[in-house]
Amino acid sequence: MIDRVLVTGITGFIAKHVALHLLREGFHVRGTVRDMSSTDDLRKTMESNGAEVAGLSFAQADLGSDAGWEEAARECTYIQHLASPFPIAQPRDRESLVPAARQGALRVLEAAKQAQAKRIVVTSSIAAMMYGPGRVGVVSIREDDWSDIEWPHLTPYQVSKTRAEQAVWEWAEANDWKDRMVVVNPGLVLGPTLDRKIGTSMSVIQLMMQGAYPAVPPVHFSIVDVRDLASLHVRAMTEPSVAGRRLVAAGETLSMSEMGRVLREEFSERTKIPYRELPAFLVRLMSVFDRSLKSITNDLGVVPVADSAYVTELTGVEWRSAAEAVRAAGHSLVKFGVMD
């Protein structure tokens, strides 16, 4: 009997890699989509990347509605919950992303319970772990860290990830499901895209390679290659030692300036790739007029360092270098014509 895995939001950047990894390992995959018209392209993407698609199927379900989730999870042995809103421009209302993220996660959890799934892996973010007052300089991100939800400077995305993950653990406690739960908290996810449809995190590399800005903000990111992240999701699904744990998923930390230098060295013909840094005060001023900059103002003056060695010890998943993830991201954007 081949185990079936439900992958929510399967058209997403990370979810596609998780689905590909699962299919390559012989699992059957059922992916949720909001619009069934996207399934043909996704099937072609999986097939073109070497997956056997006979075991790939789809179910229509939306995080904002109860409809479809019980049917989607039925007969699924494992659940990979990856769907969540991640806008590049932050909305004005700090709570506006919370209902979809929190209620959507709870809908998936209830469906997993009805299906009596053996384990559910929930994708959160280190955004739920690293923000709060007084956190400046080098900040270590550890398993038991939480962003301070009362801190008024949290962005809507940071609020949504924190509240959604808190709700997940509260549900697990109330339903005696902690031993069937694993939460993965990735840093900035880079690496190769599988097709032209890229995620918000990859737009960072896209904009840099297009020379959209003459200089970069003075911010640092803990980076994880999407291929390693997909491996971790699959390992977390069956590894007994990680039940009930939060897994910090990131390796090295790079500044945007360092990322720019990596890209300029790899793509020397693209002379407009920025690497010089803007002053922090200017970024804050610009964020008043450019809401896409709101998402990084809390990162100014902070150097996050992921304390993730325990994840490698528990799962065996090792992290590619951050530079390799940056280079792979750039090459895949060129390959699929995203830069055109």
The Cα–Cα gap between 87 and 28 comes to 30
Place of tokens 């699992």: 27
pLDDT at position 206, please?
A: 94
- Residues of the chain above pLDDT 90, percent: 81
Name the CA dihedral angle for 318, 323, 326, 331, rounded to a multiple of 10 degrees. Answer: -100
Identity of residue 317:
V
Q: How far apart (Å, rounded) are the C-alpha atoms in residues 320 and 251?
A: 7
101 CB burial (10 A radius; 0-12, 13-18, 19+): buried
pLDDT digit string, tens, across residues 1-45: 789 999 999 999 999 999 999 999 999 999 999 999 989 999 999
Confirm whether 161 is a catalytic residue.
Answer: yes
The answer to whether 11 and 33 are in contact (CB under 8 A) is: yes
Q: Residue 88 above 60 pLDDT?
A: no
- Pairwise CA distance, residues 229 & 88, whole Å: 21
Which region holds residue 167: left if phi is over 0, alpha if psi is between -120 and 50, else beta? alpha
In three-state secondary structure terms, 292 is helix
Q: Point out the catalytic residue in the list 16, 44, 113, 161.
A: 161
SS3 content of the chain, % helix, strand, coil (to 5): 45, 15, 40
3-state SS class at 33 = strand
Q: How confident is the model at residue 322 (pLDDT cuts 50, 70, 90)?
A: very high
Q: What is the spatial distance between Cα 20 and Cα 3, in angstroms, rounded to a whole number?
A: 15
- Which of 61-70, 91-100, 151-160, 268-277 has the weakest average pLDDT? 91-100
Mean pLDDT of the 283-307 span: 84
Tell me the two tokens of residue 282: 């200017």
CATH topology of domain 4-335: Rossmann fold (3.40.50)
Q: Output the pTM of the full model.
A: 0.95
pLDDT at 297 over 90: no
- The whole-number pLDDT of residue 84 equals 73
Q: Measured over all CA atoms, what is the biggest interatomic distance in the chain, rounded to whole angstroms?
A: 59
| pLDDT of 252 over the 70 cut | yes
Would you give the DSSP letter of residue 109? H
Dig out the tokens for 117 from the structure: 């799934």
Does the pLDDT at position 93 exceed 80? Answer: no
> pLDDT for 167-215, tens place per residue?
999 999 999 999 999 999 999 999 999 999 988 889 999 999 999 889 9
Residue 15 token pair: 């979810």
